[in-house]
């Protein structure tokens, strides 16, 4: 595999993975990890309806929280995507932003302060003016000085830049692949343009934000190592400050439909593809989580929950993790509107975890953030990972091995898959009435 370390990748990499026998051994361990994780996720992620929650709990003194704000609208819907989103309807979206700001004021009244705010979607930049107002309010209410926003290549336009440059510290652009065949298959070629066109758009904005992150995906059905290597070489040539590489995830329902159309990406190629990425993403990048790479020098802003034990999620379909309880906000826009305009939290479901489960979760998240010695080390789980070769060294000197990075990627993917299952079950039964917020009570704060 050493010959795969491409510090200065050629424009057309030629990768021979036949000598890469190491990935077979990684695959075996991954199988075991998947089995254990699937059971754990099924066991733990059992939400109950709780329409009696009127407010999130107050913050604890001295604890740091992160704020996540969800914008659930897209112009068209990508077939593989399991995030909570609706087809864009302008009046609904404008009203939604108003309600979101109302919900932010409720969190501020409870006493929450955040230094770090992350807007996720959906398409957060779908109404630039509304997004800008919401960012400004986050700064005013919470003293937030780190704002991260997700967008797509279509929203890199003068109107958006006018409202985000100077406001946003980290702009994350979803590209997924520069390969036109795969862009076509995942429904993004027509929507966002060819790989070359998307490259040119991102290139234009690299210097406009302190941090630009590019999201890539790998392990598409049929993707060859050479095709992946070309994608990675291209993103390296583009050279954004951060790159995040997600293994393609199949949500239970969306994934099934996508898989039927294009075939399932096998688990057996995942380790080999992962190894290829980590080998290629050398200097000037350093790996910061199992999925994220960043320039080793200069500003770095991560959106990850690695450093924040607890977070508040506002907006329809967002999750909060507070005092050992995971809350899910209503996925119905109608119900979201009714609850928030009545001054209530939009959370309608929750599940509470015991100390042991919280330690397991923290261990997973911190090890995903490449900490070999996480703040909690449940004996059985930590030592099982050690036996699998995920950790080397003792105590504070312990480090996550290359294989460990992959196993943590598999673990997080299983966890996300469980969350996708929750998302899909919460969306089941929604009707067209749940997709609209047309009339709403006047919001005094606006």
Residues that bind ligand SAM (CB under 6 A): 80-83, 121, 123, 150, 152, 174, 176, 215, 217, 246, 248-249
Q: Which is nearer to ligand SF4, 80 or 112 (CB)?
A: 80
Q: Which is nearer to ligand SF4, 1 or 77 (CB)?
A: 77
Q: At what angle do helices 355-368 and 402-427 cross, to 10 degrees?
A: 120
CB-nearest residue to ligand SAM: 174
Residue with tokens 């919900």: 103
Q: Which is nearer to ligand SF4, 188 or 377 (CB)?
A: 188
Structure tokens at 395: 């105590």
Question: For 321-324, which contacts have Cβ atoms below 8 Å and span 24 or more sequence positions?
Answer: 322/56, 322/57, 322/65, 323/57, 323/60, 324/352, 324/353, 324/354, 324/355, 324/358
Within a 10 A sphere around the Cβ of 376, how many other Cβ atoms? 16
Minimal distance, residue 188 CB to ligand SF4, in Å: 7
Q: Which is nearer to ligand SF4, 82 or 290 (CB)?
A: 82
Minimal distance, residue 198 CB to ligand SF4, in Å: 13
Q: Which is nearer to ligand SF4, 205 or 271 (CB)?
A: 205
Q: Which is nearer to ligand SF4, 255 or 369 (CB)?
A: 255
The listed partner (ligand SF4, ligand SAM, none) that binds 182, CB under 5 to 8 Å by sort, is none
Q: How far is the C-alpha of 173 from the C-alpha of 154, rounded, in Å?
A: 10
Q: Which is nearer to ligand SAM, 360 or 417 (CB)?
A: 417
Minimal distance, residue 183 CB to ligand SAM, in Å: 12
Q: How far is the C-alpha of 71 from the C-alpha of 435, rounded, in Å?
A: 13
Minimal distance, residue 268 CB to ligand SF4, in Å: 26
> How do beta strands 325-329 and 319-322 pair?
antiparallel
Structure tokens at 211: 């941090």
Q: How far is the C-alpha of 320 from the C-alpha of 313, rounded, in Å?
A: 5
- Using CA atoms, how far residue 305 sits from 29, 150, 239, 271, in Å, is 26, 16, 25, 24
Minimal distance, residue 338 CB to ligand SF4, in Å: 25
The listed partner (ligand SAM, ligand SF4, none) that binds 249, CB under 5 to 8 Å by sort, is ligand SAM
Inter-residue contact 222 to 12 (CB < 8 Å)? no
Q: How far is the C-alpha of 193 from the C-alpha of 434, rounded, in Å?
A: 32
Q: Which contiguous run of DSSP H or E holds residue 121? A: strand 114-121
Q: How far is the C-alpha of 97 from the C-alpha of 90, rounded, in Å?
A: 11
Minimal distance, residue 168 CB to ligand SF4, in Å: 17
Q: Which is nearer to ligand SF4, 78 or 168 (CB)?
A: 78
The listed partner (ligand SAM, ligand SF4, none) that binds 246, CB under 5 to 8 Å by sort, is ligand SAM
Q: Give the residues lining the site for ligand SF4 (CB under 6 A).
A: 74, 77-78, 81, 83, 85, 121-123, 152, 174
Burial of 404 (0-12, 13-18, 19+ CB in 10 A): buried
Minimal distance, residue 175 CB to ligand SF4, in Å: 11
The listed partner (ligand SF4, ligand SAM, none) that binds 215, CB under 5 to 8 Å by sort, is ligand SAM
The listed partner (ligand SAM, ligand SF4, none) that binds 77, CB under 5 to 8 Å by sort, is ligand SF4
The listed partner (ligand SAM, ligand SF4, none) that binds 59, CB under 5 to 8 Å by sort, is none
């Amino acid at each position: 595999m050493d010959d795969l370390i491409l510090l200065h990748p050629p424009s057309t990499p030629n990768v021979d993975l036949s000598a890469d026998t190491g990935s077979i051994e990684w695959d075996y361990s991954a199988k075991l990890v998947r089995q254990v994780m699937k059971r754990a996720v099924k066991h733990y992620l059992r939400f109950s309806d709780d329409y009696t929650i009127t407010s999130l709990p107050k913050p604890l003194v001295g604890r740091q929280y992160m704020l996540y704000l969800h914008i659930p609208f897209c112009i068209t819907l990508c077939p593989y995507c399991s995030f909570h989103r609706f087809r864009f309807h302008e009046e609904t979206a404008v009203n939604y932003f108003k309600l979101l700001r109302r919900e932010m004021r409720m969190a501020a009244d409870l006493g929450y302060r955040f230094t770090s705010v992350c807007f996720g979607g959906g398409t957060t930049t779908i109404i630039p003016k509304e997004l800008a107002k919401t960012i400004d309010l986050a700064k005013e209410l919470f003293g937030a000085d780190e704002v991260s926003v997700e967008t797509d290549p279509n929203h890199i336009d003068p109107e958006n830049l006018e409202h985000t440059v100077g406001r946003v510290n980290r702009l994350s652009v979803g590209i997924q692949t520069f390969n036109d065949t795969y862009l076509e298959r995942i429904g993004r070629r027509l929507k966002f343009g060819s790989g070359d066109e998307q490259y040119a758009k991102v290139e234009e904005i690299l210097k406009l934000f302190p941090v630009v992150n590019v999201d890539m995906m790998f392990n598409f059905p049929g993707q060859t190592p050479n095709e992946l290597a070309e994608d990675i070489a291209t993103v390296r040539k583009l050279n954004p400050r951060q790159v995040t590489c997600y293994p393609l995830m199949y949500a239970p329902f969306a994934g099934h439909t996508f898989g039927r159309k294009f075939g399932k990406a096998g688990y057996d190629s995942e380790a080999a593809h992962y190894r290829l990425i980590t080998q290629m993403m050398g200097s000037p990048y350093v790996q910061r989580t199992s999925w994220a790479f960043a320039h080793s020098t200069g500003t770095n802003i991560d959106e990850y929950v690695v450093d924040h034990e607890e977070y508040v999620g506002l907006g329809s379909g967002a999750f909060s993790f507070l005092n050992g309880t995971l809350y899910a906000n209503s996925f119905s826009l109608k119900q979201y509107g009714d609850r928030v305009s009545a001054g209530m939290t939009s959370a309608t479901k929750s599940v509470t975890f015991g100390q042991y489960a919280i330690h397991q979760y923290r261990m997973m998240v911190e090890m995903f953030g490449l900490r070999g010695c996480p703040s909690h080390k449940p004996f059985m789980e930590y030592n099982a990972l050690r036996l699998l070769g995920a950790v080397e060294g003792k105590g504070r000197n312990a480090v996550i091995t290359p294989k460990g990075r992959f196993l943590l990627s598999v673990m997080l993917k299983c966890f996300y898959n469980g969350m996708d299952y929750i998302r899909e079950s919460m969306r089941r039964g929604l009707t067209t009435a749940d997709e609209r917020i047309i009339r709403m009570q006047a919001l005094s704060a606006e």
